[in-house]
Chains A and B, each alone.
Chain A
Amino acid sequence: MIVAARIFFVGGLTSFRALFYWLTPWIYIPTMLIAPIFQILLFAYIGRSAHLRSDEFYVIGNALQYSSIPCLFAMAQSIGGERFQDTLSAILVSPAARIPLFFGRSLPVVLNGALVSAFSLAVGSLILGVHLPASSFAPLALVVLIAAFSCTGLGLINAALSLRIRENAVLSNVIFGFLLIFTGANVPLDDLPSWMSTAAQGLPFTHAIAAARKLANGAGLGDVGGLVGAELLVGAIYGVAGFLLLRWFETISRRHASLERS
Chain B
Amino acid sequence: MSSLRLLGVSWWLQFKMIMRSPFDGIGNVIYPLFFATTAFFVFRAGDSPRTLIYASFGAAVMGMWSSVSTSAGSAMQRERWWGTLELLVTTPRHFSLILLPTTLGLATVGIYNLAATLLWGRFLFGVHLTIAHPLLFALAILGTVLSFAGLGFLFAVSFVRFRAAWVLGNFFEYPVWLICGFLVPLSFLPGWVHPISWALAPTWGMSAIRESALGGSPLPDIGACVGLGLGYVVVGVLVTDRVLRAARVSGSLSLT
A residues neighboring B (CB under 8 Å):
24, 26-27, 30-31, 34-35, 38-39, 41-43, 45-52, 166-167, 169-170, 173-174, 176-178, 180-181, 186-188, 191-192
Contacts and interface: CB of A to CB of B under 8 A. Distances in A.
B34 to A, nearest CB: 3
Assign chain B's interface to a size class.
Answer: 35 or more
Contacts, number: 110
Contact of A186 (B31, B42, B168, B170): B42
Interface SS of chain A: helix, strand, loop or mixed?
helix
Contact of A181 (B23, B37, B168): B37
Contacts of B31: 173-174, 177
Interface of B: 22-23, 26-27, 30-31, 33-35, 37-39, 41-48, 50, 55, 162-164, 167-168, 170-171, 174-175, 177-178, 183-185, 188-189
A113 to B, nearest CB: 19
Nearest to B187: A49
B124 to A, nearest CB: 10
B87 to A, nearest CB: 24
B27 A173 contact: yes
A31 B162 CA distance: 15
B174 A42 contact: yes
B34 A48 contact: no
The 10 closest A-B pairs by CB, nearest first: A177-B34, A50-B46, A38-B174, A191-B45, A52-B46, A170-B27, A187-B41, A51-B48, A45-B184, A167-B22
A45 B188 contact: yes
A52 B30 contact: no
Given A26-B163, A26-B167, A50 B34 contact: no
A46 B27 contact: no
B22 A187 contact: no
B174 A49 contact: no
8 contacts: A27-B167, A43-B38, A45-B188, A50-B45, A167-B22, A169-B23, A173-B27, A174-B27
